[in-house]
Amino acid sequence: MKSFLNKIIFLSLAILLLSSMQVSAVSNRAGTNAASELLIPVGAKYIAMGGASVSGVNGLESIYWNPAGLDRMTYGAAAMFSHMMYIADISVSYVALGVRFGGIGTVGLSFKTLGMGDIDITTIDFPDGTGEQFSPQFMTMGLTYSRALTDRVSVGGTAKIISETIDRVSATGFAFDVGVQYRNLADVNGLCIGVALKSVGPGLQFDGNGLLQKMQPEDSNRPLSPYKVIASTDELPSTMELGVSYNKNVNDNSKIEVETAFINHNYEDDAARFGVEYSFMNMFFLRGGYGYALNAGDDPTGESVSIFGACFGAGFQYDLGGFDLVVDYAYRQVEYFESNNVFTLKLGF
């Protein structure tokens, strides 16, 4: 049985790594992909750790970072709400629920929405605005299943529905995340490795009456007639992420965890990320992290497309007798825009 599980583990890792060859085929196409909201991280804890959490992540945050870690949550049921002030006055709200079903595994449900406020409608005839407004609506809904196959190995996957609406045009699509985690690698207690392949699926294509335009037919005396512009189909921003982490008890009351990750994008520069967390009495937490682009110098401008810098944060966990309350905060430096502030509230039962 153990030999069979090892074969399954290595086969899963091989499939993910081979799939990453497709992800890495083209790079440095930032700004031309569809559904960029899939790349916006959630959860203050792991944002504060630089987004390096692929192997050590567990609980509801795993739904975004690596679904294999969901079945590692320490509760029978949990709920999470997170809010982030992103760039350009965009707010990101995230809600997730998770329930463990005995030896079957853990199921999670998640919702991410973007708030962009009201935008003035402009036209060719009224470039300063028509007096009307619209509010873009971007939403991603995910259903996650995760199971710990052994005390060391866990796997998971997420099916996501993507919905984008901009005035009178909209697009709907779907994507998948899959991940594997292996703990106590090489019999070293606290050493973990993880692989995740994220946002893989068909492209998005906008449609709607907002694409209708009045044009003069060629070689005809007919008056202006409505023609529909056919929008192109754009690919999703897929990533392959490989992470290694190590956690160790400093003493009876303190613990430190170090996370590292390599991120391979199909549209942006590849990235390396690092993060660390110090916990005291499993009640107070201090975190920090940083990420940087690995191949920014290959760009003709010599500049990286990444605008995010150092990350810092803190957390507090308290047993309220029957359920745990967790409050996390993260601060992430941003170039050109105001820095991100992230707040997360979690309840575990």
Find the domain containing 342 and state its range: 2-203+231-348
At 10, is the secondary structure helix, strand, or coil?
A: helix
Task: Flag whether 267 is in a domain.
Answer: yes
Task: Flag whether 143 is in a domain.
Answer: yes
Residue 271: how many other CB atoms lie within 10 Å: 25
Task: Flag whether 343 is in a domain.
Answer: yes
Task: Flag whether 199 is in a domain.
Answer: yes
Alpha-carbon distance of 325 to 345, in angstroms, equals 8
Task: Flag whether 224 is in a domain.
Answer: no
CATH number of domain containing 76? 2.40.160
pTM assigned to the model: 0.87
Q: How far is CA 251 from CA 68, 246, 248, 257, 278, in A?
A: 29, 16, 9, 13, 12
Task: Flag whether 217 is in a domain.
Answer: no
Number of domains the chain contains:
1
Query: From first to last of its 349 residues, what are the pLDDT tens digits of the chain?
Result: 455 445 445 545 554 454 444 444 444 565 678 899 999 999 999 999 999 999 999 999 999 999 999 999 989 999 999 999 999 889 999 999 999 998 899 999 999 999 998 888 887 788 888 888 889 999 999 999 999 999 999 999 999 999 999 988 999 999 999 999 999 988 899 999 999 999 999 999 999 988 888 777 776 677 777 888 888 899 999 999 999 999 999 998 999 999 999 999 887 888 999 999 999 999 999 999 999 888 765 555 556 667 899 999 999 999 988 889 999 999 999 988 999 999 999 999 9
Alpha-carbon distance of 347 to 59, in angstroms, equals 11
Task: Flag whether 322 is in a domain.
Answer: yes
The answer to whether residues 338 and 85 touch, using CB atoms and an 8 Å cutoff, is: yes
Task: Flag whether 69 is in a domain.
Answer: yes
